[in-house]
Amino acid sequence: MATGWQALAKAFAGKMRLAMIVPLAAALVAAGGDTVPQVTLATPGSSGTGDGTISRFTLRFSEDMVPLGDPRAKAPATHDCKVPADGRWVDTRTWVLEFEKSLPGGMSCHVDLRSDLTTARGVNVVGNSRFEIDTGGPSARAVLAGTGYGGIEEDQIFLVATNVAADRASVGRFAYCAVDGIGEKIPVDVLKRETVTTILEGVSDQWSAQSFTQDAGLPLRLPAAGADREAALDRVVPVKCRRPLPPGREMALVWDARISQSGVPTRTAGRDQRFDYDVRPAFTAKMSCSRVNPQAGCNPLKDINVSFAAPVARDVALAATLRTADGKTIAAKIDDDDKNDAWLERIHFAGPLPQNVDATLVLPADIADQSGRKLQNQSNFPLKFHIDSAPPIVKFAAEFGILEAGEGGILPVTVRGVEASLIQSNLKMPASVLKVGDDDAAIARWLTRVEKADDTDYREEKNAKGEDITVNYTGTQSVFDGAPAGGERRNLTLAPPAGGKEFEVVGIPLAEKGFHVVEIASPELGAALLGRKATRYVATAALVTNMAVHFKWGRDGSLAWVTALDTGLPVAGAEVR
């Protein structure tokens, strides 16, 4: 059985080899002869403006047609398009016909090879000798949708400029609006012709309108009258979505492939064109203020800001007031950058403001934006909120400082709204130890620890409900935790004269000369800044000394010397390293 199948396979293989030899031989014969000169590429193109119009036509031949670089070479073809054009050879095989301006839409014309056209070696060009150029049906060259940058309006009017006049009935039948989240095509209404004139004349001095007319191939200003004006208006179709667009959504105006040319119903756009836009947000008002943590009230030392999602008339915006429970009424103010503007998008109530008091933000009842829209979140106003007391503060002037020993080595710290008694941790390194080489490195390490002690530290954790939250751990670890041994450490009690609740500067005496690290711990500061029960540490470093080092860098040599801080006189025998 197997032997029979093998014999059959050999027989078929022999026939297949014979069948393959015949076309292969024919191909070898054809390859051995001369190729026939012909056009290998004939295509329209644009000048690179991206508007899709035809402004050139390219012919490429299968072999050399002219000597390289011969400017007297004759054109290989003629055309019957109603736009003047010049032709040129770009290389020995490629010829380009450049039109003086882009061909208008709805045009059909031809490029014809000369009947006596021959190649550089004198062989006649054969094959197709007539090539059609068709600019197609009404495609959208440009769309004007508003002149602002905040998104289009809910009832936006679109001006669609086409390459050739479109049939208005087919625009209304096939063009549509597509809105994100709405699973249907919203039809468009074609508006009156006069709408184009009203809009273009109203915004003719704005950049968006100038860009629109340039892209559309229209004059910057419409002709006053006559055929040119009518021809320009024929090519601009005003449309509007049949129902208002939802605020804050993405949408698209779709120019359908089935839209036809005016007077030529069989000539259509041929392809869908989509123009994407963002609908402007709803008109809302928002109050914001500085808070020391998300659960806290507004900081009375900072401004309370009110922002509008769209411009509001100046007098209406400034009619907003802030009323406090203690009977005070605070007027709204504007930024210096907006002082000459007739329409405002933000106002503020300048701090400092009354402390630890309930407040109400009142907006005018008739408030509306530039388009006449009413406030969408009007029900939120009057808006009640709380203004806290001034936030706690414990602040040293810097991470490191030099204190004059002759003045008592007083380290200033600013406090407000904290405990009447704070814990101080003080680490003193005697001045004598500073003379040891290793101590320089130890001081450098302490300076690094103090610098890093206040680094921002936010961590991702899960709360009791298993939800992901961000927790602030900045300054919750003492600078002395895990610190190397050495030095004399002692705990003090700092008692601000005003009780720690008022803004005051307190002096911490560091009488002994040497390098000191000082840290203050405040649970109230932690509760305010961290939003939970936690101690907040604030650290600094200071060098108590009566000497200052001076350095002068010269071209040939440099000079270093030491003076006393209290007298300014040079210190003899000082060691500088």
Q: What is the pLDDT of residues 193-215, one digit of tens each?
A: 999 999 988 887 788 888 898 88
Three-class SS state of 250: strand
pLDDT tens digits for 28-73? Answer: 333 334 579 999 999 998 765 555 678 899 999 999 999 887 767 8
Q: Which helix (H) or strand (E) holds 437?
A: helix 437-453
**What value does the mean pLDDT take over residues 496-509?**
80
Supply the pLDDT for residue 30: 37
Task: Tell me the torsion sign for CA atoms 471, 474, 478, 484.
Answer: positive
Mean of the pLDDT values across residues 216-236?
Answer: 85
Tell me the C-alpha distance between 134 and 89, whole Å.
23
Q: What is the pLDDT of residue 203?
A: 82
Q: Answer whether 178's CB lies under 8 Å from 252's CB.
A: yes
Mean pLDDT of the chain: 86
3-state secondary structure 307-359: EEEEEEEHHHHCCCEEEECCCCEEECECCHHHCCCCEEEEEEECCCCCCCEEE
Distances (CA, A) of 359 to 181, 298, 385: 40, 10, 5
Q: How confident is the model over 445-474, as pLDDT tens digits?
A: 889 989 999 899 999 999 888 899 899 999
Quick: pLDDT tens for 374-406: 999 999 999 999 999 888 888 999 999 999 988
Helix (H) or strand (E) holding 430: strand 422-430
Exposed/middle/buried for residue 431 (C-beta within 10 Å: 0-12, 13-18, 19+): middle
The CB density around residue 87, as the number of other CB atoms within 10 Å, is 19
Q: How far apart are alpha carbons 538 and 536 in whole angstroms?
A: 7
Compute the distance between CA of residue 430 and CA of residue 263 in angstroms, rounded to an integer: 101
Kindly report the backbone phi and psi dihedral angles of residue 345, in degrees, each rounded to the nearest multiple of 5, phi listed first: -115, -5
Question: Which string of DSSP letters, residue by residue, matches 491-520?
Answer: EEEE--TTTTSS-EEEEEE--SSEEEEEEE
Q: Which two tokens stand for residue 376?
A: 């969408």
Q: What is the pTM of this model?
A: 0.64
Structure confidence by residue, pLDDT tens digits, 554-566:
988 899 999 999 8
Q: Is the pLDDT of residue 143 over 80?
A: yes
More confident position, 88 or 438: 88
What are the backbone dihedrals phi and psi of residue 473, each rounded to the nearest 5 degrees, phi first?
Answer: -110, 15
Report the candidate in 55, 60, 95, 98 with the shortest Cα–Cα distance to residue 74: 95
Residues with Cβ within 8 Å of residue 226, at least 6 apart in sequence: none
Model pLDDT, residue 49: 53
pLDDT at 101: 86
Q: What pLDDT sits at residue 51?
A: 57
Provide the pLDDT for residue 136. Answer: 82
Average pLDDT over residues 334-353: 94
CA end-to-end span of the chain: 104
pLDDT in tens, 275-329: 999 999 999 999 999 998 888 899 999 999 999 999 999 999 999 999 999 999 9
Over its C-alpha atoms, the chain yields an Rg (Å, rounded) of: 42
Strand 236-241 vs strand 157-162: parallel, antiparallel, or unpaired? antiparallel
Give the mean model confidence (pLDDT) for residues 112-120. 94
> What is the torsional sign of CA 310, 316, 322, 323?
negative
Q: What are phi and psi of 65, to 5 degrees?
A: -110, -30
pLDDT score, position 515: 87
